[in-house]
Every structure is written in C-alpha cells, then in structure tokens.
Structure 1
C-alpha cells in the first residue's frame, strides 16, 4: 500500500510541473522541513538532558541556532492553529475544548489563509505528515483543503502508536491518506510509517528534478506523534537505555520515544543528502507544548514496559521549569527549538538566541524565507505573526518581538490568562493548577503521584515574574513592583477588545460520527460531509 502512495505522490509532482507550479527562481527558495514534536518538554533532547540519546538532534542543534525563548500554547490544537495561521492561540476556538471529543463539529476557521496556502502561492510543493488535530468533521477542514498537496497521517488529537486506534469509545481507527481512510495501512508503528511517507516525498522530488531538470521546492510539515501518550516505543529503541528500578520500564520506553524522534529526523536528513537536496534546506525542529508530567505512577505508569502496546501514562520532564502541559507556566509553554541546515547563515551556527519568539511567528518568517507576502486580510482575526528571519539569520541583533499573549480566555465572565512583555510575565487566574516543579522525570517510583499544587493569582492580586532573572518562576514579585503590575494589567485588559472565539463550545454529534465509522470499516473521517461506503474492506 505504501508503494501506491509513492506512485501517487510522484504523479502529483509531475502534474505540478505541467501546471506551471515550478518557476525559474526556485533554486533561490529553500526546501523547508518543519518538525513539530508532540508533548516533548524542556528537559529534552540531549542538548538539554545528556541522559537522552539523540545524536542527530544534538548535531543539528550544535550546527544550528537555538531559539531559547520560543513559546507555544499550553496544549496541542491551538499551537497548530497558531503555526498555520499566524494568529495568537487565544483567537482560536479550539482553546476552549482542544477539539475534544473528536465528535465535536469544529475546525480551523475557513477564513484563514494557511501557511501551506501561502507557500503554494510561492510555488512550493506542500506536504502534511502525521498529526492534524485542526478539525475533520467536514472535508473542508482536512489538510488537502487547507493548502497541502498531499497528506498522510491522522486527523484527531491522539491514537495508539501501533494500532492507530483513536481515543474514542467505541473504538475507531484514525489513519488518513489524502482524502480517504488509509485502509489496510494501519497496524504499523507510526514513527516508521510517517517517516517513510516523508522519504517518498523527498525521493519523488529528486526523481522529478533528475528527469526534467527542475522541481518545486518542498514544504514538509512533519507533525510527529511521538512523544504523546500512550507511552510506546519499539523495544530496540527502549533498549538503548539501561535504567534500573521500578520505573526503569517507563523511563526507558519514554526515552525510546524521544530516540524515535531522533531517528525520524536522521532518516529525513539522510534522504535529503542522498537526493542532493540538503544544501538547499532550512530545517526547524520544535515541540507543540510542554510535557504532561501530572500522571500517576501507580495508576498506570508503573505498568509501562518497552514491549507494551498499552502504555496509558502521562509522563515526561520540563525540568527545571515550573508547571506542565495545560499550564501557562514556562514548563507548559516554553519549548526546545532550533533552526538548522545549510541555508542558515554560517555565522549563526552554534549560537543561542534569547529573544522572544512565538510559534505564530513562523507564519510570517517562513513566508519571508519563501519570498511571499504574509498578509492575510481576509482572516476573521488580524495577523499577529512577526517576520523573525532577520533575527534568526543574524541581520539584526535584537528580536522584533517583545510581547506575547500566552492566553486570554473570555469563555466566562471570569477573564483569565497570562501575558509576557519584555522580561515580565503576568498571570491573571484565581486557580492555576499544576503549579509545582515536577523534577527531572515525573511520575517516578520515588514520587508516584506528583503533588498538584495551585497558585492563586486573582485579578485583584495577579502574579508577576521576571523571567529573565527567574526562568523557573520561583519568585512572585508583584508586591515589589506595583507599577509594573498596573501597566501589565492594563495591557492584559486591552486585549478584551481583540477578537475572541465564541463563548459556547461547538456541539458534538456522536450519532453522525459513528455512522461514518460504521460505514467505513471502523475508520473515522469527515462525518458531516456526504460520503459513500468504501468498495473494499479495510483492516481494523
């Protein structure tokens, strides 16, 4: 079946050539490979934690530029929406529900011109691989209709890494190939399956270039599923580690997942080199949010072993940062990030940039790299992205960004959130959960149930941190800096006038969802779009 995908992708590239998708200036446009890792916290990979075996990421980081103050949203879907639209996450409706459950009738607003749409305008061949999580209840919300020439992956927010069963009950398989369920292709570790899809794209592009003397530049958005729960990795990767103790199985399996990320990046970069495309490549690697360190060791994590196909456990590490996924503390929103590849100017390699950057900025930044105007006046909310390429490439010494909206929630009368202005970070939230420091790896046998501390920062007494001086958010300095609090709170309140999504969550439709599943051999898909039953049976 993967052979069929190779043929389809190869034919598509020839069609793009015939349609004039390639133009004479394409050599000046780099291939853009964007890796978005899932739920990998600050204390990874090896350049932040030498326990972890990630030689490829380590090498690319050492020969690239680290973006040390790169921020995302505190959980999955809004980060992806922000990346593809250039808008701060709080302007997207998925901040309310994270598109859960998958029966929800919601998707990335169709008024937005996505980054993939923009790069197609610049004559790129655009490809999505892996996790989508931006809506699928109608086909218009799926990747092929949001600017991607090809797509192979899954549509919801998570699934079993081996069976591709989504997080729904009754069960349904979530594996999507172009515009239909990927019948017969499930049952393989996604780390290999998705990497193979990327290798097909690269090889077909090289074949087209060899056959015709020309081919479009590639944009590959590779949204890995590792290291999102369930905690599963091939035995061979877990066996790279020699931990002992009751939590050895959990830790070696989780670290094996991180090594699996490294393996995917290595195979892709090797393929680019073999195809003679690496010298024209810009590679970005990051994560969508911090690790979910609030799991229970005795409540499920203890049973994780390298050969397990279950692995129901939330674990990881954001050490030494405070907080976890689902929080606006640094541990939830500050992600390990670097830019590498020969397109990066040589004088920037090996450097660390401390200036602020938000995941929404990739929209304008990559448009700039591709040579296309990022303006998107038709979107329901105005663009927030800033072109960071002058900063990343060393043309300017200071980041053009000095303000980030981590969150600004107006779904109830109690407005909550967090903002960053320069060195200062303000929290307005009377009930900030998971406010503790979870340690080097959590949960573990010594601390089987990490404490669930709460920090109270109500509007009448918000919390203030100086992140430059106190990156781990140990000291609330609001009382020492009342004028700063006043200025930050005024800035926070000014956001009330900005676009916000509807207060009411989009409805769900389980009946339609499972009618689709039942009509498609147990596979899920766009359950509110007209469809016909498949002609052949699929593997479930």
Structure 2
C-alpha cells in the first residue's frame, strides 16, 4: 500500500510543480499590478478607448507570451494578465495594410490597400478617401478622437492627413519611419532625398521647438497631455501608434536611447555585448514598455481608468536577422516561422491583449481566431454602438459579447483571410466544425529566403535558460525549427493544421487534397471581390529638395502645399490639446 501511495505521489509531483509555478506567476503579476486593482466601474458615460499599436514587435520580444527573461515587459504584462490575452490575433505582414484594415474594419483587398508593399515616402497613394476611419466613426458616438505617433496611410495630399480623416488632433509623422531625434526620413532610390516629417494637425514642427526630444518619448508626452487635459464629460478615443521597436534600427544611432534619464534594465544590461544589435533591440522594447506605463499612469492620475478600455497589439511580426528577409533586423518570433513581410505565422500572428475593468471576467487567454478588422465592431459595441450601424461591407466581427462572457459561448469568427494578391501570394485560415484550424499558404511571391526559423540572437537550441513558463506560449508539438514535411509555397500550396502544428513544421497538403481544394476555392472567392491595388511608385516631384527640405502634400495645388511656419507652442505642450 505504501509503495502504491509513493508511486502515486511521484506520478503527481510534476503536476504539482507546474501548478506551483503557475500560482507563483500569477501571484507575482498580482503583486506587481496594484495600480490596476480598481473598484467596480460605475459607467456613467461611454468608455474611454486607448489603442496602442506597436511597430514590428515579435512574439518572443515580449514576456507574457514566452516568459522571455531577456525582455521582461512588466507594464505590458500587467495589461495582459489582468485582461484578456488574444493568443490567435492576426495582422497583415506589413504595416500599411494593417493600419488600413484596422481603421476601416475591411480586408485590405476591399480598400485597395493590399500593397504589394507599404507606402514609401514620395509615393502618391493612401487609404482612398471614400472609406471612413475609426476617427470618423467614433465621433458619431460623441468621442474626442486623437492620434499620436505614426500614420502611414497617405501623405501626398492634405485630404489624406489624419486631421482630415476624422481625428480632432494629430501629432507625429505621416511616413512609415523617421530619424527619432531630428524627425527626418530619406530614401536612396530612385534618387537620394531626405526630408523633415514631424507635424501637428498638418502643420510643420521644427526640431528646435521640440529640443530634439526622442520621438517615442515626445509622442508619449503628447498623449499624456491629451489625457490630462481631456474633458471629463466627454469620452475620448486615443490611437497611440508608436514607432518602436520597428525594423532597420541600424539606420539610426538612436536605437539604444541615449537620453540621460534612461537606464537599461538589469536583464537587458547583462545581455551579452557580443550581440550588440539584439541588445539594442531589447533596449527599444524596454522603451515601449515604459511608455505603456506612462499612458496607464496618466489614466489613473486622471481618475478615468475605471471607465477605460486599453487595446495592445503589433502591426505585424518582427523583422528577423535572416539575409534576404524583409527589412532585416533583430526582432524574434521564435518558435513561429519567418517574420515581417511574410504570411507564415511569424509575420502575421501577433501579440495582442485587451484590458478593461468593464470586462466581467479578466485574466484569461482566448485561443479563438481574431483579426484586426474585428477591432472596429468590437470596440464599437463596447462603446454602446450597434455594429449594424457601421458602414456596409465590413469584414470584421464584434467579439465583445464573447469576450464579456469570459470564454463561455462561441466566437463569431471561423474564417480569416490573411491576404490575397492575385497569384503572387495568398493565405487563409479556416476553423472546421471540430475546432481544428487549417491554414493554406501559397504563391510565387513568397521567397525561399524567408522560409526559415530564427532563434533569438545570443541563445542556442541547447540552452533554453532565457525561456520561462507562460500559459500563452506556443507549443510546437514537433522539434522546434525542424521541418517534418517541407513547405515551398512558390512550388506548391502548403497546408498546415495550426491547432496541432502552430509552428508550421509539417506540410500536410498531400494528405488532405480535398481540404486544399476547398481553401483554394475560398481564396478564389475572395480574389473575385478584390479592388485593384491603389499602390503607385515613387513620384520625383515629391523630393524634399524641391520643397525646402520637407515632405509635403505635393499633389495639392501649389498654393495649398506650404504650411511650414513654426507653431506657437512651448516644447511638449501641444497647442490644440488644452
């Protein structure tokens, strides 16, 4: 009897250890989030909405998904573990189509924003003017609407500017990136050109006015002021589109953030200097996490956190350190495959969470499909609107009732278009009646150079000390980074069972031809509804050398192009944010 009891205890010992680890993890989170322990909300008006979009943030660049000890993100973790982790959140592989789809609630093929690449400075295209943005729509519900950070939805005419697309206030850059101290962006093809890009409500802002403040901190200060000076009797919608961590950090020396008040966290400081590029990336992620804290503190100090909703997600996966990869960089999506610019999971399955005291149940993980087009109807319903009153032709579903129910009931989304660009590349995910998620991927536009798996720099397959335990972690079910059955989408379509093979290691297309055929037909159906891409090549007339060193709305009539007088406001005090 004693031996039987001993064997039973031994059998349950691993389970007990796992339970203890989970308990300690959640206890640590609870102790670390006292500021988020609010009383039950008394909703007297529509909730404030704060949307934080990170730029090129990888799945393994954050700690609530992989418990990565190299990149502790305690402030983002507070939101995740005290809200809802959306563990199958999907974005596009590039920033421009992601932002267009988020703004409109429509797939990029239904707005003409499907690329084939993001908008570059000097390219005369953007989100077509007939489509309303979340800025337009939430004003219908009585919201103040603000956007600080990166726009990246068009700048060739003022009609494309955010303050003309429904936002009461904008401060930031219209381009996809900039130098973070002097706010310039330059391109070397087809002709060398560099121009200034920082604007407030369409007007040029000179760097001497801002004292060359580090751009991520500058926009955070603007957001803090907007919250601090907001009308307590009117709800606000704040879209905070940070440029960090972003790809191509080698371009600018600001990546380690040399501001005097900045100190690397011990885990980042101790990271091996033998890998300086990854170390810089970790510093940028720390900047992101600290700025999230500044925003949440602003809500608490204003006394409006009890009636607020915070959304956090990345616009696409991280750019990876793989020769030939899109915007090669040192972000990490491991153990997911590939990264930014690609339809493999590393490029499109993005970190995301939702936090609010208004949620009936908090602290759980949703593994249901969620596409960024779903944010518009979801937030609209959370704000008290009826999703049926949104513009026709939307591709998103409201998940608010599902999320409010605390995982009870079914999710509204069973199919998700990743992208379709004729025969160049395409991808789709469908969940069958048994809950299995199948993904079809194909097209000649997916290069061989981007098929690989990339581990965090400074780690090895045999040394997993950088990883801890997280309930939100991806479990590959095969050896990480080693294909079982190869996938070469430019040769033949690939099929993956994402439920049992989330790391896309086993191409099962040959075993399930009927499923492949069904998903190919779904792709063809979507392709039949696609609008022509509005993408256009670089226009030499945009060259800042022709416009006093500024990127301007060069497609407007000449008399309306210039508006470069310095604004009359003190540093860090937006004139329209009072």
Matched, 1:264 2:283: no
Matched, 1:37 2:54: yes
Distance (whole Å) between structure 1 residues aligned to residue 59 and residue 101 of structure 2:
20
Distance (whole Å) between structure 2 residues aligned to residue 224 and residue 377 of structure 1:
27
Matched, 1:199 2:224: yes
Matching residue within 420, 436, 458 for 1:408: 420
Q: How far apart are residue 216 of structure 1 and its match?
A: 1.1
Matched-pair contact (CA < 8 Å) for 1:180–1:525: no
Matched, 1:342 2:357: yes
Counterpart residue number, 1:439: 455
Q: How far apart are residue 511 of structure 1 and its match?
A: 1.9
Distance (whole Å) between structure 2 residues aligned to residue 56 and residue 458 of structure 1:
41
Structure 2, unpaired ranges of 5+: 1-41, 250-254, 432-436, 463-480, 572-578
Counterpart residue number, 2:366: 353
Matching residue within 39, 43, 53 for 2:72: 53
TM-score by length of 2: 0.77
Identify if the C-alpha distance between structure 1 residues 479 and 261 changes in structure 2 by more than 3 Å, giving closer, same or farther.
same
Matched-pair contact (CA < 8 Å) for 1:44–1:52: yes
- Runs of 4+ in structure 1 deviating by more than 6 angstroms, as ranges, are 376-379
Identify if the C-alpha distance between structure 1 residues 535 and 283 changes in structure 2 by more than 3 Å, giving closer, same or farther.
closer
Identify if the C-alpha distance between structure 1 residues 533 and 190 changes in structure 2 by more than 3 Å, giving closer, same or farther.
closer
Q: Residue 96 of structure 1 aligns to a residue in which SS?
A: coil
Matched-pair contact (CA < 8 Å) for 1:315–1:442: no
Moved more, 119-128 or 56-65: 56-65
Identify if the C-alpha distance between structure 1 residues 489 and 230 changes in structure 2 by more than 3 Å, giving closer, same or farther.
closer
Q: How far apart are residue 427 of structure 1 and its match?
A: 1.1
Distance (whole Å) between structure 2 residues aligned to residue 224 and residue 533 of structure 1:
25
Distance (whole Å) between structure 1 residues aligned to residue 58 and residue 272 of structure 2:
23
Matched, 1:457 2:489: yes
Moved more, 115-124 or 506-515: 506-515
Identify if the C-alpha distance between structure 1 residues 340 and 535 changes in structure 2 by more than 3 Å, giving closer, same or farther.
closer
How many residue pairs get aligned? The number is: 477
Q: How far apart are residue 466 of structure 1 and its match?
A: 0.4
Correspondences of 1:134-213 after superposition (within 5 Å): 134-168=153-187, 169-183=192-206, 184-185=209-210, 187-205=212-230, 208-209=231-232
Q: How far apart are residue 494 of structure 1 and its match?
A: 1.6
Counterpart residue number, 2:239: 221
TM-score by length of 1: 0.82
What is the root-mean-square deviation of aligned Cα atoms in Å? 2.8
Correspondences of 1:67-466 after superposition (within 5 Å): 67-168=86-187, 169-183=192-206, 184-185=209-210, 187-205=212-230, 208-209=231-232, 215-231=233-249, 232-235=255-258, 236-238=262-264, 240=266, 241-243=268-270, 245=272, 247-295=274-322, 314-345=329-360, 347=361, 349-374=362-387, 382-394=393-405, 396-410=408-422, 414-422=423-431, 423-430=437-444, 432-433=446-447, 434-441=450-457, 455-458=487-490, 461-466=492-497
Distance (whole Å) between structure 1 residues aligned to residue 111 and residue 457 of structure 2:
32
Between structure 1 and structure 2, the one with the greater Rg is 2
Counterpart residue number, 1:514: 544
Matched-pair contact (CA < 8 Å) for 1:430–1:455: no
Q: Residue 397 of structure 1 aligns to a residue in which SS?
A: coil
Q: Residue 224 of structure 1 aligns to a residue in which SS?
A: strand
Q: How far apart are residue 496 of structure 1 and its match?
A: 2.6
Distance (whole Å) between structure 2 residues aligned to residue 174 and residue 193 of structure 1:
14
Structure 1, unpaired ranges of 5+: 1-24, 210-214, 300-311
Counterpart residue number, 1:500: 531
Distance (whole Å) between structure 2 residues aligned to residue 30 and residue 536 of structure 1:
35
Distance (whole Å) between structure 1 residues aligned to residue 519 and residue 247 of structure 2:
36
